[in-house]
Amino acid sequence: MRVAIIVSARGYHWVELASPIRWLERKEIAYSLFTPDGREPVADPLSLETRPILSKFGFGSPRRFAPEGYWGTQLLMDLNEAQDLSFLNVEDFDCLYIPGGHGTLFDINRNKLVLEKVRLFLKAGKGVGAVCHATSTIALSDQKAFKGVPMTGFPEFLDKVLNLFSGIHPTFLPMPFSNEKTLEQVGVSNGFFRKCMAVVNPYYMVRSDNIVTGVGPLAARGVVKSLIYS
């Protein structure tokens, strides 16, 4: 089993990457890291802040994933070796995972090469998962095919709340587009019930055949586990 992970070079969410990678390492499952153009991945600065209490709700990092700790330092070193996405051969991997973060709106979701790789994984019948602001990447890879398909993502309502309390790093403002509205424009199934669940349940995730989407940081590990055990 081997997992391909596409990481934003503009601002990925630290926990949405660190949490599933730590689980993969404990299970001795191989993974490889890629960025859209080979640049070094960059984390959302706010997601790197260690916040023991708020992290239980998906805001900030818990101490066990602290980037300044031994394991966090090792992961940051590994990220320096991330490959250019053009070198990703779909045949070499069993599934694809895309962590979110506000930065994905700038270099992941609408990136032609990323969308092509997503299509190739799906065409090969392999699992594709994404969380948070990256979930519309899957929907955009084949807009006609995903009309009515259940998906979720980070709620726009929570983005508005975060913005009121300076919970979005200035680097990402204004946001170039809305992940949630993009899902709606494609026509995926993300109605009132799923939106409510996304707001009240930080572990919320949706599976539809070989596609798995999650609401945010606390759903990231569950999304990858679902891909592995499908």
Helix, strand or coil, per DSSP, at residue 131: strand
CA gap 63, 61 in Å, rounded: 6
Q: How many domains does the structure of the chain reveal?
A: 1
- Domain extent at residue 105: 2-228
Give this prediction's pTM. Answer: 0.96
| pLDDT for the residue 67 | 86
Q: Distances in Å between the alpha carbon of 54 and those of 107, 120, 129? A: 27, 38, 25
The Cα–Cα gap between 5 and 116 comes to 14
The per-residue pLDDT string of the chain (230 residues; one tens digit each, 9 = 90 and over) reads: 999 999 999 999 999 999 999 999 999 999 999 999 999 999 999 999 888 777 766 777 888 888 888 888 999 989 999 999 999 999 999 999 999 999 999 999 999 999 999 999 999 999 999 999 999 999 999 999 999 999 999 999 999 999 998 899 999 999 999 999 999 999 999 999 999 999 999 999 999 999 999 999 999 999 999 999 97
Cite the DSSP H helix spans in the chain: 14-26, 45-48, 70-79, 104-107, 112-123, 136-141, 156-164, 179-186, 192-200, 220-228
Write the CATH number for 204: 3.40.50.880
